[in-house]
Amino acid sequence: MRVPDCYEYYLKPKVISGKKALDHIAFELGGMNAKKPIIITSKKHIRTKLDKKIITAFKDSGLTIGAIYDGGPEYLDPNLAYRLNHLFRWHNCDSIIALGGKSVTEYAKALNIFAANNGKIDIFTKDTDIIAPLYPFIIVPTMDSDGYESTNSVSTGGRRFKSESLYPDLIVIDSRTTSTGTTQDAIASSLIALAHSVEAYISNNSNPMMKSFAHASIQYIFENIVKVAQNPRDKKGGIALVNAAALAGSVFSNSSSHPAHILGTILSKKTGNYAAIIMGAILPCVMELHMLKGEFDGEDFLLAAGGFDMMAATPVESHGLKSVEIVRTLTEKLHAATQNFSAYKISEYILRETASEAASSPDVHFTEAECLLVLKNSYNGTQIKKLPAAEEIITREKVSAKGGRKCV
Amino acid sequence: MRVTQCNEIIPGRKIFKRIYIAIMLFVVGRAIRAAAVHDKIVKKEFADLPDDFAFSLGVLPNGPHLVMGKDKKGKIKFLGMNPVGKRTTLKMAIKNIEAAILVFTFQESTAVAFAHDRFVVDGDLSDALAVVRILDIVEVYLLPKFIAAMAVKRYPEHSEMSLARKYIGRILIYARVVLGF
């Protein structure tokens, strides 16, 4: 195993996972000198009565819940988060609990920034650092994760803010909250976590900490996803998958290369299709491309995903191919649509635009031609057999200049 | 702005669970005192502890608690259910009432609860481990085997605790718990 000359891995959130984990929140809040949390959740989670479960967990704790807010739309609206700050101040709240996934955590993070900066609205419009210490922030993830919950970033209006202070202080994973999702939620959350974890192995700043987190995450996903997809109420499997998502979030925050994530997210925004399904289809092609470039040997991945037996039974030179094969087999088992996304009928110019936009991202270390190659092959469900030729890259650059595509 | 609960929510209390824990702590407290008289291992464990040893075992944040300690003659005393104003060298607390229920309904043994981070210990850790060993022995005396096997780390073999010692000890400890001497 290669020892890096120098590396950094920032690891902030404390994780409490397992039986009666929700009941520990009050004790942990006490340790952070907080007495009155505001709970941010969504209508979907109110329907599954998660609010009642969390109120029950606070019984006999001596704490008061400031308010429960569930009115946010699916995307983060900074104005609404700003108004939420008034509710936070009105009730003298001193901590924030995000109960749910996706937008809920984004709202909670935005609220935390506004509240800590005394409601200054320009914090999201100016490129200023988050200097003020933020309020204690706890997340209780559910199965409908988008991979950003446990990360150090928040996105609003197409912009993504990253700060180490945006990490949650505590992640609480309880079977009471993880077993309320659907099969689609479980598959989507796992595919995103898998993409994030695999990117840890192919990232150029990959380090032992990152790999160990990615290893655990991949192992949890491969051991539990099929089980949970068949029965979303599976408590142990649900906890394992949400743990995998939390681990993958930590890896994602520390890794510098996210080709599958960026390509999937951009294409999802352009076409309105589900990002997780696209990421799941893109991931094997990203692995293949890295393999052709000699940056991915599949050894660590195969150990995590297939275990010792599979790794021992596979010749060393075939570790990479076997890794890609088991990812394809997994996506096939989960859902036929994740094999390729040709059913979405995406025009080629959208793929080209996506490739161009992704190649300009600092988090993607592919050229535009390589991005396009990945997208086309994942769209058709075919394998990448060779790297794009140098002249093809030049031709595409000329086309790009002539075509006057929108520069992002 | 749509807010589900715009008013402050006071989550309430778990009265029955608190009462159950209070009864269990009361019984365990009296049983420890009785076991310190009748069982030689418990007696030795207490003898090895410091002369001014006193400990409280309870549930955060508002109790109930159990307080026990050594008097000047080295006898083990049950000092009541209120730790306020009592000098204790070791404070052991379970983080919340649900964790306490897991421990006192024997769904989790004391050792497993420690491993699951359900306890907070303020004091000498070796003293805390002695208390856990004492609790294990007391539970073997108080509970039938099929329950005690779940509550303790390892149920003692016949070579470690003979049937005669177990049953005679059980009768004497229960008598002392009920009669309170």
**pLDDT tens digits, B107-137:** 888 888 888 889 899 888 888 888 888 888 8
Q: Which of A175, A290, A184, A195 is nearest to A242 (CA)?
A: A175
Kindly determine whether residue A68 and residue B8, on different chains, have CB atoms separated by under 8 Å.
no
Tell me which DSSP letter residue A149 carries: T
A314-332 pLDDT, tens digit per residue, is: 888 888 888 888 888 888 7
Q: Give the pLDDT band (50/70/90) at residue B20.
A: very high
Q: Given this model, what pLDDT does residue A404 score?
A: 40
pLDDT of residue A391: 46
Task: Give the alpha-carbon dihedral of B110, B111, B117, B121, to 10 degrees.
Answer: 70
- Distance between A12 CA and the closest CA of chain B, angstroms: 19
Structure confidence at residue B115 (pLDDT): 87
Residue B178 buriedness (CB in 10 A; 0-12 / 13-18 / 19+): exposed
Mean pLDDT of A289-316: 85
Mean pLDDT computed over A254-258: 80
Contact B8 A63 (CB under 8 A): no
Chain B residues with beta carbon closer than 8 angstroms to that of A58: 11
User: How many angstroms separate the most distant Cα atoms in chain A?
Assistant: 70
Q: Please tell me the pTM assigned to this model.
A: 0.83
| B97 with A23: Cβ contact below 8 A | yes
Q: Is A26 on the interface with B (CB under 8 A)?
A: yes
- pLDDT band (50, 70, 90) for residue A120: low
B96 contacts in A (CB within 8 Å)? 20, 23-24, 26-27, 60-61
pLDDT at res. A172: 92
A31 touching B (Cβ < 8 Å): no
- Alpha helix segments (H runs only) across A293-404: 299-313, 319-334, 348-359, 368-380, 390-403
Of B7, B18, B96, Cβ closest to residue A27: B96
Chain A residues inside the 8 Å CB shell of B14: 59-60
Asked if the Cβ–Cβ distance from A60 to B96 is below 8 Å, we say yes
- Residue A138: what pLDDT? 92
Compute CA distances A144 → A42, A279, B98, B156, whole Å.
Answer: 11, 16, 27, 47
Is the complex ipTM higher than 0.85?
A: no
Best mutation target among A15, A17, A20, A88 (most B Cβ atoms within 10 Å) is: A20
Query: To 10 degrees, the CA torsion angle through A157, A163, A167, A169?
Result: -120
Regarding predicted confidence, which is higher, A267 or A123?
A267
Tell me the nearest-neighbour CA distance from A88 into chain B, angstroms: 10
Report residue B85: phi and psi, to 5°: 80, 0
How many beta-carbon contacts under 8 Å exist across A and B? 90
Domain extents in chain B: 15-179
Contacts of A32 by beta carbon, 8 Å cutoff, 6+ apart: A95, A136, A169
Distance from C-alpha of A171 to C-alpha of A13, rounded to nearest angstrom: 6
Question: B15-179: what fold?
Answer: Nonspecific Lipid-transfer Protein; Chain A (3.30.1050)
